[in-house]
Amino acid sequence: MVYRCPGLRMAEMVKPVMDHLSNYIIVDIGANLTNKKFSRDLDQVIQRARDAGVTKIMVTGTSLHSTKEALRLTRLYPDTLYSTAGIHPHDAKSWEEDTYRELEAVARAGECVAVGECGLDFNRNFSPPDVQISVFEKQVELACKLGKPLFLHERDAHDVMVSILQRYLDRLPACVIHCFTGTKEQAAKYLQLGCYIGLTGYLWKDKSENGVRKILEEGAIPLDKLLVETDSPFMYPNTRASKLPQHIKDCLTERSVTFLQRYCTFQRNEPCSLPVTVEMIAAYIKKTPEEVALATTFNALKVFGLSA
């Protein structure tokens, strides 16, 4: 049976059932577990994620150093952690003559399931735009060569990103727009290119007329193109915020909120917060959290070739 959760009345009917169900099974497709904020208690962080139903986590590589460290972590936690290999646009200026070779060596590992986080960020321009474009294109070529998905970062660079992806369309592997925060039109264009859309706890924050909330409410992202991620230690989903509509808050289960509020903060989000994001998405699209968890997990297993 499919439930709808438009407000308090339905939430009151569903929550007692949900709070007694076994865990969701969810894949976090983007967590920055190489961040120094996790250096002292990674074992506990991963155990909490498992306890919350987050059974697999992709550790994001954003530089050569973090890419190698992400791969190292996958070998400490086999079948739970997977990694990506990439140079973030902020770090594009660090690209050197040997970077492609070193990146490819890591990306070829079986535990490394995607090329990225790579892309374009014209919002901050920590690296010059022309350097970002050059480094991004090299990583697109690497993904095409290896046949591994692209894990993409884009801020204020939609048109340029689309034009580059279109040039490689005949041999482009699966593409995931990581931490999507754009407009309905931008989402539609990415979907037209066959991309998957990754959503985070940013949902609580968005109040735009044409942003992520509106996209979900209008059903603009098909479930078979949706993925979920925490972007830990960033993107804390502040479920107490006044910006988050009450009817969405009413659809959050006590169990998921407890993991969030007991273990996560604005300073350090954790993968165990992911069920809250799944429940927010479910409330916006009027599906059950189980449907969203199942669909996004299936998508992650398919796109990244993760073991079931």
pLDDT by residue (tens digit) across 25-66? 999 999 999 999 999 999 999 999 999 999 999 999 999 999
- Look up tokens 């040997």; give the residue: 98
The pLDDT of residue 19 is above 70 = no
Helix axis angle, 129-146 to 99-107, nearest 10°: 40
Tens digit of each residue's pLDDT (9 = 90 or more) over 145-190: 999 999 999 999 999 999 999 999 999 999 999 999 999 999 999 9
Checking if the pLDDT of 5 tops 70, the result is: no
pTM assigned to the model = 0.92
Name the one residue in this structure whose structure tokens are 């990506």.
84
Confidence of residue 11 (pLDDT cuts 50, 70, 90): very low
Residue 13 pLDDT more than 90?
Answer: no
| Burial category of 77 from C-beta neighbours within 10 Å (exposed 0-12, middle 13-18, buried 19 and up) | middle
How far out from the chain centre does Cα 179 lie? 5
Residue with tokens 């490819």: 104
Q: In the predicted model, what is the mean pLDDT of residues 197-201?
A: 97
Query: What Cα–Cα distance (Å) separates residue 154 from each residue in 61, 117, 121, 209, 289?
Result: 16, 10, 6, 20, 28
Residues in contact with 217: Cβ distance below 8 Å, sequence separation at least 6, in sequence order = 284, 285
- 84-142: pLDDT as tens digits: 999 999 999 999 999 999 999 999 999 999 999 999 999 999 999 999 999 999 999 99
Structure-token pair, residue 67: 């890419």
